[in-house]
Amino acid sequence: MPPTAIILLSGGLDSATALAVARAEGFRCHCICFDYGQRHRFELQAAQRVAASLHAAEFLIFKLDLRAFGGSALTADIEVPKDRDAHAISSEIPVTYVPARNLVFLSIASGLAEVRNASCIFAGVNAVDYSGYPDCRPEFITSFERTVNLGTKAGVEAMKRDARAIEIRTPLIDLSKSDIIRRGVALGVDYSLTHSCYDPDESGGACGSCDSCTIRAAGFKAAGVSDPTRYR
């Protein structure tokens, strides 16, 4: 039996690449995607396409309504910022920040990891072009890994053998967006299946000017890879 990993899949470019890395390392991949009340459904559809194209063993949509307590432009009716330059994007925590999102997603993935006997959770977080989210920083990931091993049955049992039960893998954390794209292209990721835009039109066409579109387009350009994004 190959080792099992849980993959946090969002439908975006980074998590698709993380899935490809996990597959290339020989993991049987169980993908979890969160239906958390985001503004549009294109992310979920993209995630499902990506999981199928990269031969995931499972694709699970987990529903939880983070709109229940409000507070983010990604889930509430706050305007998504447009046409900001790279400095403005990276210098502050943006309004698109969803409170405790990665903490919540990693926690739920940890529960799934226990039930599926997975030894790893892969997350496509990135601290370079990380758009200012605190829950994408390496020190957060390291601390989370320690916490999950202390707080789960699998972790407690592994500690008796002086081991970690669950490892949080972030293979993209130190890569630039262009490095991520080059890595994914080498691993056969079809980025036309992915969706990054925070503010797409009715058919899923990307706006080209939100922070996510700006970072993505610059990444393809810097990687020297033709941008497969369908813009509105």
Give residues in contact with a copy of itself (CB under 8 A). Answer: 60, 62-66, 68-71, 93, 97-104, 106-108, 110-112, 114-116, 134-135, 137, 139-140, 143-144, 146-148, 150-153, 155-156
Task: Tell how far CA 1 is from the center of its chain.
Answer: 26
Which uninterrupted H or E stretch holds 151?
A: helix 138-151
- Side-chain-side CA neighbours of 71 within 13 Å: the count stands at 10
Shortest distance in whole angstroms from residue 221 CB to a copy of itself = 30
Whichever of 100 and 186 has its CB closer to a copy of itself, that residue is: 100
The smaller minimum CB distance to a copy of itself, of residues 99 and 228, is found at 99
**Tokens coding 98:** 């969803």
CB of 204 to a copy of itself, least distance (A): 26
Sign of torsion over alpha carbons 9, 76, 41, 91: negative
Which residue from 76, 110, 98 is spatially nearest to 8, judged by alpha carbons? 110
Work out how close the CB of 36 gets to a copy of itself at its nearest, in angstroms, rounded to a whole number: 10
Q: Where are the beta strands (DSSP E) in 87-182?
A: 120-122, 167-169
Of 81 and 184, CB closest to a copy of itself: 81
| Nearest distance in Å: CB 9, a copy of itself | 15
